[in-house]
A and B are shown apart, each in its own frame.
Chain A
Amino acid sequence: MPGILPYIVRRLLWAPFVLLAVTLATFALGRFGPGDPIEVLQGQYNNPEVVERIRQERGLDDPFLNQYGRYMWDALHGELGTSSTYLGVAVEDIIFEKLWVTVQYNLLALIIIFAIGLPAGIWAALRRGTWQDPLTISVLLLFRSLPVLVTIPILQYILAIKLGWLPSGGWDEREILGLKLGIFDKRIIMPLLVLSLPGIAGVARLMRAQTLEVLDQDFVRTARAKGLQEFVVVSRHVARNALLPMTTIVGFALVGLLGGSLFVESLFGIPGIGQFVWKAVLNYDYDVMMAVTLITATAFILVNLVTDIAYGFIDPRVRLGGRGGG
């Protein structure tokens, strides 16, 4: 893969422009949108002079570009501003901690989703034409369609209140190898179930469709015609080819899971980034919103890049960079 280094460099050169555009837009939304943290603090009273004075002292009256420039300059130096959800707390002191909580259980959910979803999809595809295929697909469709706002209370009622097997939620960390981990506690079982079931369903359905497509390809017929064992046909020829498109969704599935954490975290009482961002938005916490935007955009860029590169390795037909004909 000779062209890969220049390709990566070229892609990374674009990253600052993407980040600039995204942060500028978010910053503008915050500054030109209604409300600010000072008004929030002032409560139901009306003292415009005081608000104005503090706004000036805090630099919120400076020209927009000055404010933006100041923020980005600090951000480049690792200072992401101060929160107004927790007044005065440095954003970098809080946001990574929250993010880590959410990333932990979402990564675990992602592993479960693919570990179960992929084989289930292949299995269903191979059972095409039997009663097992439609049954599997219907069950999966049901899982996929159940909103978490329905599944969570039901699970809590059964597993916590009726059976008493699990706490209704919460987050308990223990330190393992210097890392604060909350995923080795039974409290995490219900959130994982809730996150995984629809994910498994989605992945399995996609995998089934991919597998079916590959099954109809000439090379599969050829493989079978050569007299290869069915297991070899499926694992070497079918699964490998069907898996290709799945690689593209791994990264985005993770980012998507992160975005969908609000309900799970609120109903299970998990102190992660989903709840935190929600609070931040309600508090006009500009700096937290900016930091989240920066982190999310960076994650997307990296995921995108890694996916493209991985794709190149897995499928030799894909040429990176698009130059040199293809």
Chain B
Amino acid sequence: MLGALAATTAVVVGVAAALVMGGGDDNENGPAATNTPEAQTTGTPSGATSGDTLRLLGRDPITMDPACASDVDSAAYVIEIFGGLVTIDRDLKTVPDIAEAIPEPVENADGTVSYTFQVRRGVLFHNQSRQVAAEDVKYSMERALNPDTQSPIAETYLGDIVGAKEFASTGEGEVSGIQLDPAAPYKLTITIDAPKPYFLAKLTYPTAFVVDSNQTEGTSCFTNTNWQRRANGTGPFKLKEWDLGQRIVLEANSRYHLGAPLLAQVEFNLAGGSAVTMYENDEIDVTGVGLNDIERVRDPNEPLNAEFQTGPRLDIWYIGFNVEKPPFDDVKVRQAFAHAIDKDKLIGTVLKDAVVEANGILPPGMPGYNENLQGLEFDPELAKQLLSESTYGDDLPAVEIASSGRGASVGPVSEAILGMWKENLGIEVTIRQTESATFFQDLRDGDFQMFEVGWVADYVDPENFLKVKLYGESKDNESKYRNSEVDRLLEQADTEQDTAQRLALYQQAEQIIVNDVPWIPLFHDEYSVLIKPYVKDYVLPPFVIPRLRYVHIEK
């Protein structure tokens, strides 16, 4: 899967953090929520008329180049315009796109694993110049990895393929793990370095999408990017118009191989505006709702209330500890800090219940999400007791929490938490707020004692949270957390082919992690969206997926 949501950029994370932690702002939340939504819709639409236009507020994509897109804003368009071997459906399952079927992994004698794909016949590029063949898939992946393309993320998503890392640093030869068959132009074998049940999920990310070599030869993420305004993909929608900062118009690809979209076109207004006002004034069909408007639209007496929908997002906001730095090298201190936070109050009062309380690490909607997970409850007495039992006793060194943000004021979430620690533990924690680039740099360098930050799913697999962030050897493990039992469970889950078994392993690991408190989970974001009643099947997935082709308008 993919991708969807994939990855948000540091800046997006930073901004989102600032907004969420800072209490949010309509205008900013609006378009974001518009881009990614959710919704439980089932059944096939009936009586849909074609020829309708859906009007949305959108955000400017940084790029339309699948090899370079790593932020949600860009991915939201790329995923509609382009496609790859596999995609993600409304149930967040990996399903075939350009491939005919999802291949079974085959383990080789040397421990590598191969997937053999059959490319679907008759998949046309939007300009109908030609059919996609296996060599287009190979070309596209190698182009993403080629150092000349200068993609900062290709290795992250394609680095499991045998030979990909070498190719990414030299650009010489080819990626040995992507094999064509000279006798079968629609057959493609991809070999990865070890069994990884989440590998196909990574292929749903735009990095693996098919591009038209006639357009992309000689281009990189940073140069000769004009082709993107006429991007020629294979996805459900064609890029009809992209006026930078003003408008993007997508037009239905009536020959789309998984079923033509029901809408004629989708217009994204990129220039912004007052989202909810535009919605009320019938200028757009869907809008996100920020904290400023949320109480109004929740009011059952308010007409807009009938059009209000919410849905989960695959992310988590948490407080992380550097478990190597005093005083958080003592688990009791970490537990004390966790028990001293009243999350109900925090979420109910400061965040107006627009988010979902987090007990564990995995967000609702993620496979492996554990409803019965035992979180650390708010218990000020226990918190004090744990603190006095710790090796530091009542003699705690100075404690500072780092957060990313702009502007001189501390967000209401941070403020509330600092207040709770003071009230319930008697500890005065200071806050260091830095601009997001500096923040992430220092975070990676392990400079902080304690930090507040978020993590957004890149693909729909628990590995993306637990292994990436909390495995002892992971370079993204900013807590420096290391528990040999957790590491063993995560390694085992990596290669476990039975899905139920595998998810059980993740749940075991998650419970141990929660008790060890390298993080205090705070909350998971939610979409709060207004959708006009005539817009049907507007799916609000917790994650960026191609979803516009399901939407139809019935007026």
Which residues of A are interface residues toward B (Cβ below 8 A)?
A: 34-36, 38-48, 50-51, 53-54, 57-58, 82, 84-89, 94, 98, 152-153, 156-157, 160-161, 164, 167-171, 265-271, 275-276, 279, 282-284
Contacts and interface: CB of A to CB of B under 8 A. Distances in A.
Interface stretch (B57-65, B248-256, B359-367): B57-65
Contacts of A275: 245, 271-272
A34 B244 contact: no
A282 B15 CA distance: 9
Interface centre among A43, A161, A167, A171 (most CB of B within 10 A): A43
A81 B246 CA distance: 22
A50 B244 contact: no
B11 A38 contact: no
A35 B15 CA distance: 14
Contacts of B27: 266-267
Given A44-B455, A47-B152, A276-B245, A161 B70 contact: no
B7 interface: yes
B227 to A, nearest CB: 10
Given A44-B10, A86-B63, A88-B226, 15 more contacts: A34-B434, A39-B10, A41-B68, A45-B476, A57-B147, A82-B222, A89-B244, A98-B245, A156-B281, A161-B281, A168-B281, A168-B283, A169-B274, A282-B11, A283-B62
Contacts of A265: 271-272
A279 to B, nearest CB: 7
Interface in B221-244: 221-226, 244
A46 to B, nearest CB: 5
B475 interface: yes
B265 to A, nearest CB: 18
B9 interface: yes
A42 B153 contact: yes
A42 B70 contact: yes
A87 B68 CA distance: 9
B269 A34 contact: no
A169 B475 contact: no
11 contacts: A34-B434, A35-B437, A35-B441, A43-B12, A43-B13, A44-B476, A57-B147, A86-B244, A167-B283, A271-B270, A279-B245
Nearest to B444: A46
Nearest to B475: A46
B461 interface: no
B156 interface: yes
Contacts of A58: 150, 222
Given A87-B222, A156-B277, A45 B7 contact: yes
A269 B273 contact: yes
Contacts of B226: 88-89
Nearest to B244: A86
B222 A152 contact: no
Contact of B10 (A40, A54, A84): A40
B435 A41 contact: no
B57 to A, nearest CB: 8
A34 B443 CA distance: 13
Nearest to B72: A43
A47 B168 CA distance: 13
A41 B283 contact: no
A86 B233 CA distance: 19
A44 B68 CA distance: 14
Given A82-B222, A152-B274, A170-B273, A44 B245 contact: no
Given A42-B152, A44-B7, A168 B277 contact: yes
B100 interface: no
Interface string B157-177: 000000000001100000000
A20 B354 CA distance: 50
A289 B436 CA distance: 18
Interface centre among A50, A53, A267 (most CB of B within 10 A): A50
A41 B476 contact: no
A101 to B, nearest CB: 9
A301 to B, nearest CB: 28
A71 to B, nearest CB: 15
Interface string B187-226: 0000000000000000000000000000000001111111
Contacts of A87: 62-63, 65, 68, 221-222, 225
A147 to B, nearest CB: 15
B327 to A, nearest CB: 26
A59 to B, nearest CB: 11
B369 interface: no
A50 B152 contact: yes
Contacts of B169: 53
A270 B273 CA distance: 7
Interface centre among A47, A88, A271 (most CB of B within 10 A): A88
A34 B221 contact: no
Contacts of A86: 60, 62-63, 225, 244
Contact of A43 (B7, B223, B273): B7
Nearest to A54: B150
B181 to A, nearest CB: 31
Contacts of B246: 171, 271
B438 interface: yes
A169 B278 contact: yes
B423 interface: no
B440 interface: yes
B476 A46 contact: yes
Interface centre among A51, A168, A275 (most CB of B within 10 A): A168
B245 A41 contact: no
B438 A34 contact: yes
B81 to A, nearest CB: 16
A283 B11 contact: yes
A46 B458 CA distance: 14
B62 A82 contact: no
Contacts of A57: 147, 150
Contacts of A82: 222-223
A43 B10 contact: yes
Contacts of A50: 152, 155, 168
A255 B71 CA distance: 34
Interface in B1-35: 7-13, 15, 27
Interface in B393-417: none
Nearest to B219: A88
Of all A-B residue pairs in the complex, the 7 with the closest CB atoms, nearest first, are A35-B437, A269-B273, A88-B225, A34-B438, A42-B152, A34-B437, A271-B271
B277 A153 contact: yes
B271 A89 contact: no
B437 A44 contact: no
A281 to B, nearest CB: 10
A50 B158 CA distance: 14
B554 interface: no
A161 B280 contact: yes
B329 to A, nearest CB: 23
A160 B13 CA distance: 34
A41 B455 CA distance: 16
B14 to A, nearest CB: 9
A140 to B, nearest CB: 27
B456 interface: yes
A88 B437 contact: no
A84 B272 contact: no
A84 B223 CA distance: 10
